[in-house]
């Protein structure tokens, strides 16, 4: 947000109130608890901030850099079967993280025109780890059954043998714990400079991944996108200042904003802190809107994140991580895509077998929508149902080569479901020459076929 002067850490002394029933991130409160337990952590965070500001002054935040790939391990800690989310659900989240941070997310077109100049590809992407800390092959997913029914931000989630699972080395991995969070929390994260044993991100199982078992309106994977932003040194866009307009997220190209934004204001412009005419950037991943309303990081936020990987940066060790290196077969993108069996409510997607595939991830959506429906297939086709008649759709397929290795998604294939009109209100009944309906040349005809012997009559 714009300030005459950046005020590092003004926000971290404010403990905000908790909002239930809407997006609720526990990172700020978690940070305060860490400061209380380890006063030196605040000093380390201030040192990281000084480094970040110096980096920003000496680097072009709009320039192109080598892409940073972060190996991820997902620790699923579950008490009930529904909490033990599927591999496919986890893979969908990794895909969303990469899309959101690389600005290849399907809803980039929803970014308002007055903010597109600030929107950035952060040049950070994510992969599920293929090598564990001992050098053995891994899927990048651990699963731990627990007797604990839910966790708070002060629970024993990161302690294997107590209730949860120990963190893998933070110099090689981003740890993400997925569990049932209490108190209405969707997630929380640890900023750089904290304890190695708790370094990472925590997400509630019901809001992890895109589609599938994720619960609306937080079912597009943006909870993890938001929390990983914290893990990469980003603050809430409104500065956690209790509507005073005096706080800062320490980013110059995000507008000053009074407070968090809930739900999804849609195309409205919300003015606060004299930030007109463009108003609040509530489409930013670091606000509190619903998943379908978030769609960008800015160039300034990119600079803060990239500073962590500069020489002397607090997460630079990840650049030499073996976590995603070398293990797992190569994946080819599926080709030969076609659509068959198109009806009013369904279709069959077909493609050619890809080299090394153990399965496929398929996603489809209305061409007018930014929300994908995700599914999987063990073969080279997928039947989908529940579509809307007379509507335009697109679909893509991604090759799963096992071991957490995934190809890119294919190009989209478009199709239109049949129907969509009420034939009985236009041409029926017209089963005889005497009842033939008069039409003009060039008319698109949709007639209700009642049986295999039905004949419809028209005249021009």
454: domain range? 422-460
The pLDDT, as a whole number, for residue 222 is 98
The pLDDT, as a whole number, for residue 442 is 62
Cα–Cα distance between 327 and 405 in angstroms, integer?
A: 9
Q: Does 147 share its domain with 251?
A: yes
**Number of structural domains found in the chain:** 3
| 73 in any annotated domain | yes
**Cβ 170 vs Cβ 199: under 8 Å:** yes
Q: Does 375 share its domain with 404?
A: yes
**Taking Cα atoms as reference points, which of 69, 19, 13 lies closest to residue 42?**
13
Domain end, chosen from 320, 348, 380, is at: 320
Q: Does 146 share its domain with 212?
A: yes
Q: Does 262 share its domain with 180?
A: yes
Q: Does 185 share its domain with 257?
A: yes
If one counts every other C-beta atom within 10 angstroms of the C-beta of residue 146, the result is 20
| 333 in any annotated domain | no
Active site residue 227: yes
Q: Does 268 share its domain with 404?
A: no
| 327 in any annotated domain | no
| 6 in any annotated domain | no
**Which CATH number goes with the domain that contains 342?**
2.60.40.10
The pLDDT, as a whole number, for residue 429 is 59
Domain end, chosen from 286, 320, 354, is at: 320
Q: Does 167 share its domain with 269?
A: yes
Q: Active-site residue among 49, 99, 125, 227?
A: 227
Q: Does 149 share its domain with 264?
A: yes
The pLDDT, as a whole number, for residue 412 is 82
| Strand, helix or coil for residue 8 | coil
Residue owning tokens 């080819």:
332
- Which residues, at least 6 apart from 398, have a Cβ–Cβ distance to it below 8 Å? 95, 333, 334, 360, 361, 362, 363, 406, 407, 408, 409, 410
If one counts every other C-beta atom within 10 angstroms of the C-beta of residue 323, the result is 27
| 189 in any annotated domain | yes
pTM score of the predicted model: 0.70
The pLDDT, as a whole number, for residue 453 is 53
The pLDDT, as a whole number, for residue 62 is 55
| 3 in any annotated domain | no
| CB environment 198-210: b (16+ within 10 A), e (fewer) | bbbbbbbbbbbbb
| 4 in any annotated domain | no
**Which CATH number goes with the domain that contains 119?**
3.40.390.10
Q: Does 316 share its domain with 369?
A: no
Q: Does 305 share its domain with 365?
A: no
The pLDDT, as a whole number, for residue 275 is 93
Q: Does 441 share its domain with 296?
A: no
| 134 in any annotated domain | yes
Q: Consecutive 10-residue runs of the chain (460 residues): their mean pLDDT?
A: 34 37 81 91 95 88 73 96 94 96 95 96 95 89 94 76 88 97 94 94 97 94 98 95 87 94 89 94 97 97 96 93 66 87 96 90 86 90 95 90 72 88 50 68 58 62
Cα–Cα distance between 368 and 392 in angstroms, integer?
A: 8
Q: Does 409 share its domain with 429?
A: no
């Amino acid at each position: 947000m714009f300030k005459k002067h950046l005020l590092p850490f003004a926000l971290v002394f404010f403990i905000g109130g908790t909002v239930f029933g809407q997006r609720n991130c526990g990172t700020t409160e978690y940070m305060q608890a860490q400061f209380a337990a380890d006063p030196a952590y605040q000093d380390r965070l201030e040192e990281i901030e000084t480094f970040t500001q110096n980096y920003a002054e000496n680097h072009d935040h709009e320039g192109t850099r080598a892409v940073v790939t972060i190996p991820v391990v997902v620790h699923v800690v579950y008490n009930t079967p529904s909490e033990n989310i599927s591999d496919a659900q986890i893979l969908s989240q990794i895909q969303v993280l990469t899309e959101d941070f690389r600005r290849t997310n399907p809803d980039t077109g929803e970014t308002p025109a007055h903010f597109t100049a600030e929107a950035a590809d952060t040049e950070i992407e994510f992969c599920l780890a293929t090598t564990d800390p001992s050098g053995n092959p891994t899927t990048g997913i651990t699963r731990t059954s627990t007797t604990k029914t839910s966790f708070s931000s002060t629970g024993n989630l990161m302690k294997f043998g107590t209730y949860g699972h120990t963190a893998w080395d933070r110099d090689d991995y981003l740890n993400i714990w997925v569990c049932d969070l209490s108190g209405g929390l969707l997630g929380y994260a640890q900023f750089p400079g904290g304890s190695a044993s708790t370094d990472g991100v925590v997400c509630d199982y019901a809001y992890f991944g895109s589609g599938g078992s994720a619960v609306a309106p937080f079912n597009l994977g943006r909870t993890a996108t938001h929390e990983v932003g914290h893990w990469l040194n980003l603050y809430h866009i409104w500065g956690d200042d209790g509507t005073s307009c005096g706080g800062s997220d320490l980013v110059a190209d995000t507008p000053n904003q009074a407070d968090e934004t809930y739900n999804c204001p849609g195309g409205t412009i919300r003015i606060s802190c004299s930030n007109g005419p463009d108003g609040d950037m509530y489409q930013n991943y670091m606000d509190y809107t619903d998943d379908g309303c978030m769609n960008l990081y800015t160039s300034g936020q990119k600079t803060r994140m990239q500073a962590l990987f500069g020489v002397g940066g607090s997460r630079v060790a990840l650049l030499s991580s073996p976590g995603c290196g070398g293990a797992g077969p190569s994946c080819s993108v599926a080709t030969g895509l076609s659509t068959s069996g198109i009806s009013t409510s369904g279709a069959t997607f077909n493609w050619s077998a890809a080299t090394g595939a153990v399965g496929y991830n398929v996603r489809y959506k209305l061409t007018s929508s930014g929300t994908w429906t995700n599914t999987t297939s063990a073969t080279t086709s997928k039947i989908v149902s529940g579509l809307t008649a007379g509507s335009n759709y697109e679909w893509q397929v991604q090759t799963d080569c096992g071991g957490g290795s995934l190809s890119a998604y294919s190009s989209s294939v478009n199709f239109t479901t049949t129907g969509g009109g009420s034939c009985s209100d236009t041409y029926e009944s017209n089963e005889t020459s005497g009842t033939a309906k008069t039409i003009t040349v060039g008319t698109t005809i949709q007639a209700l076929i009642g049986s295999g012997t039905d004949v419809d009559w028209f005249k021009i």
